[in-house]
Structure 1
Amino acid sequence: MPEGKTYSLSRRMILSISVMLCLFWVAAVMLGIRTMRDEFDEVFDSGLQETTERLMPLLVEDLYSRDNQTGPYRVFDPKSEVDEEYLTYQLRDANGRVLLHSSQTPATPYDAPLKPGFWSDANHRVYTMETVSGSLFVQVADSLDHRNEATREGAFSLILPVMILLPLAMLFVWLITRQAIAPVERLLHAVSSRDGGNLAPILASDLPKELADIPASINKLMARLDNALQAERDIAANSAHELRTPIAGALAQTELLVKELEGHAARPRAEQVLKGLRRLSTMLEKLLQLARAEAGIGIGEQPVAIEPLFDLVLSDICRAYPQLLIEVRKDNAESGPIARRIDADAFAIALQNLMENAARYAEPGTTVKAMLCADGTVTVSNISADPIDGDVNALRQRFRRGRSTAPGSGLGLAIVERLISQMGGRLDLAAEREPSGQTLFTARLHFSENPASPA
């Protein structure tokens, strides 16, 4: 089943709260604008009605004072040429003919019917009022542009504070959420740092009650796991250690027996027993190294110089394999000593396994190359006696061997992989086909940078 895509809890909370906050604020502003427009309409309608009621007697009186007027009369306004007239009016008779009109109103009658009350079209809001006799009608029109302008200005006054406050609110949401989620992140960091090499209890005393029980449960689980791993290491180490003495004794006795059976028909069988004991002895040695690797010995307290350890291991390999041709190269002569915070025994075990691996599986008569670079990288390469098929990284697994029939435990590279990971580095393996048709096997150790000088 494929793994689901991971996501950030804090990011999702911040985004969700921010989006909901924006939506609620926008809805509140829209509702406020709608309410404000309704209130504006009530105020403007009230003013429109009151203005019509006040104009009615004045216009009727003005009309009767002009008995000789034959056509629509325009009431002159001295300010009409300067200021915009929001309110315009017409005095009409029962037939709809315009008798009087304001200075900025055409003589053309309004579209509003001669019926008392309010009437609206796309541009105006008109209030109609009739005289007591019903022969004259006063219509006062209010431009809707005036109302729209007032609504826009009112809406802007509502939106502007929101545009300023909303980013601040989102910032506070981010700060509060980050502060609330901080204990979860600390717990996540503490849990993610635990693995087979770090099973120390999680110490977290400031967790909220929703998370307080998690560290205790994890600590119990890690304690049981640590006990199980320690028991496994102890069994492997103790068994190998206890078997070393009797096997060493049996190996010595078998070597003497092989010499005494010179020319005897039973000597081939004795040699097979001797070969098996030597292989068992090698296996026990590797099991001890593996137990030490599983115990987490890779990291040292102080930086250690790599070059002396490199030379020491190579000198031991030269004594153990006198027939092996080794080419040593060191590129750190000008850069000074190389120091890394590693355990000296762990580094020696890792390099020894790489050199023994090269000595066992190298093509006879070829040269094994060991190189120490200025950046602390250690490279061991050899021409493989047998072809390497498939993924070369599969050789990192325990008891995984290639097609070679040479004696070996199948644990060397697994031990190196475990130790180098504890040192904060990595092991790179490569198998390249040479122009001659042979396979060049390369193992490279990379260590994390540590500028400190050796103690």
Structure 2
Amino acid sequence: MRKPFAFPPKSLAGQLMLWITASVTALWLVAVGFGALVMHDEFGEIFDSSLQETAERLVPLVVDDLRRRNDINEPRRIERSPSQPGEEYLTYQVRDASGHVLLHSHTASEQPFEAPLKVGFRDGETGRFYTASTPDGSIFVQVKDSAAERQEAMFEGTLALLLPVLLIVPVTVLAVWFVVRRVLSPVETLRAAIGEKDGGNLAAIEAVSLPQELQPILRSVNLLLARLRSVLAAEREFTSNSAHELRTPIAGALAQTQLLLSELKDAPVRARAQQIEASLQKLTKLTEKLLQLARAEAGIGVSETTFDVADVVGVVVTDFQRASEDAGRIRFRNDFAGQGQREGTADAFAIVLRNLVENALLHGRVDEPVEILLTGEGNVRILNGAARLSDAELSTVRKRFSRGKTLAAGSGLGLSIADRLLAQMRASLVLTSPIPGRVDGFQADVMFPDAR
């Protein structure tokens, strides 16, 4: 079944920056909108005032001009002064009571404006008009400003309000980012400290300068870590005592059986005693593995101490070469120079190596050597001859009480124990088959995260 797509967890700092920036930007845009509305009203008042003032000032001037003219039947066009080139923002017409155009500005049409001859403001399709008249109502002056000019003024005014916002928003984003990072830095410090805590690191978090709201979290986490350390210590002590109590009676029974075998001469009875001896030896090995598994589950690999990987490998290899019946098959090479300190306990790492070497001797081809290599990076590699394993088989042999296609005796716990202990030491076990560069074989690599 295909897994549904899962979005990555959201960052608290990222959400704060997003919401604060969006809120500030929205408030600025709302402010610009209100400013534009106010400016629209103010601009309207200014334009209307200009229209009215212009019309009212033109009335006496126009009347005086008309009195001096003899012919007022033809519309007269007022020419623009050469010293004032450019577009006219205001146009006007002078009309008599019948609507006939007597005078008009340079760019105004000879056709009468669409505004009626009535004093006051009127809106037209092309602009806004104001009409003023003489006291007797015989002469009317109509002044018009263009709707396009008003719209242009509004657009430029709104743009003038908006441009600072376009500069302020990036500055606000930078300020918000700086403040959020500064305020949330204690949270990030605590998060990183808690993130380092795993099966291989249960040390208490150092008291750092945290805000009042985070102090209870720090105390609770340290209390939990202290309880975990106490529980693991109790489990280790119990496992150690249990190992002693279990080994003693089994070793005693095995010794008595071997003593009985030395005294028995009758073949049928001796054969049964030999079967008892074999069963006790098998039980001894199984008990040893179960005790190792129990110790692994109790977290014996979790430690604040370190060990020298070269020293442990050397001791384990020497033990096998001295005590193992297959000592002649073991080939050891050390390519690591210097001391390689690794997190964990030497005892736990020795258990890992013993299980890996025992598996190689037990399940590897008897006519091929078992190669143990301490690499130049400080990792450990164990190789043995064996039939090629598939990826599914490599995954199976790592499970508890699971064994590959082999007739050799075993409990199926060795790789599981090694996996568990290495995880506690923040290391990993990589299984490969066939051996790189060969057509078959089995390779086990112990990889440390801090290997050089």
Comparing 165-174 with 141-150, which one deviates more in the overlay? 141-150
Q: Following the alignment from structure 2 to structure 1, what is the Cα–Cα distance between the partners of residues 341 and 147?
A: 82
Deviation at 1:210, TM superposition (A): 4.0
Within-5 A mapping of 1:72-83: 72-79=75-82, 82-83=85-86
CA contact (8 A) 1:112 1:119 kept: yes
Change beyond 3 A, Cα 1:49–1:434? closer
2:354 maps to 352
Distance 1:258 1:399 in 2: 32
Deviation digits for residues 297-346 of structure 1, max 9, x if unmatched?
Answer: 4667567362x5434422322333333653636473xx744624355444
Q: CA offset at residue 168 of structure 1?
A: 1.7
Q: 1:401–1:317: structure 2 CA closer, same or farther, 3 Å change rule?
A: same
Q: Tell me by how many angstroms 1:101 deviates.
A: 0.9
Structure-1 residue corresponding to 2:271 = 268
CA distance in 2, matches of 1:112, 1:204: 83
Aligned twin of 2:432 = 430
3-state secondary structure, aligned to 2:446: strand
Q: 2:423 maps to which residue?
A: 421
SS in 2 for 1:85: coil
Q: Separation in 2 of the partners of 1:13 and 1:162?
A: 21
Shift of 1:428: 0.6
Shift of 1:140: 0.5
Q: Alpha-carbon deviations, 1:220-270, whole Å to 9, x = none?
A: 444444444333333222111222233222222222222333443122332
Deviation larger for 133-142 or 189-198? 189-198
RMSD over equivalenced CA pairs, Å? 3.3
- In 2 relative to 1, CA 201–302 (structure 1 residues): closer, same or farther, beyond 3 Å? closer
Match of 1:46 in 2: 49
Q: Name the counterpart of 2:443.
A: 442
- Tell me the distance in 2 between the aligned counterparts of 1:402 and 1:68: 123
Residue among 62, 67, 74 paired with 1:64: 67
Contact 2:55 2:130 in 1 (8 A): yes
% identical aligned pairs = 43
Matching residue's letter, 2:358: E
Q: Does 1:196 align with 2:225?
A: no
CA 1:229/1:404 → structure 2, altered by over 3 Å: closer, same or farther? Answer: farther
Report the equivalent of 1:366. 368
After superposition, the Cα gap between the structure-2 partners of 1:397 and 1:189, relative to the gap in structure 1 and judged at 3 Å, is farther
SS class of match (1:151): helix
* Preserved contact between residue 91 and residue 107 of structure 2 (Cα < 8 Å): yes
The one-letter amino acid paired with 2:446 is L
1:33 to 10, 22, 36: 36
Q: Indicate which of 253, 258, 282 corresponds to 2:256.
A: 253
The two structures have a TM-score, normalised by structure 1, of 0.85
Mapped to 2, the partners of 1:301 and 1:325 lie a distance apart of 34
C-alpha distance in 2 between matches for 1:221 and 1:372: 38
Q: Matched residue of 1:265: which SS? A: helix
TM-score of the superposed pair, with normalisation by structure 2: 0.86
* Aligned ranges 1:52-451 → 2 under 5 Å: 52-79=55-82, 82-204=85-207, 206-290=209-293, 293=296, 294-297=298-301, 304=308, 306=310, 309-323=312-326, 326=329, 328=331, 330=333, 332=335, 336-337=337-338, 339-342=340-343, 343-384=345-386, 390-432=392-434, 440-450=441-451
Write out per-residue CA displacement over residues 186-227 of structure 1, whole angstroms, 9 at most, x where no aligned residue. 332233333333333445564444444333444444444444
User: Relative to structure 2, which stretch is displaced further, 342-351 or 250-259?
Assistant: 342-351
Comparing 220-229 with 156-165, greater Cα deviation is found at: 220-229
Q: Could you tell me how far apart the structure 2 residues matched to 1:211 and 1:372 are?
A: 45
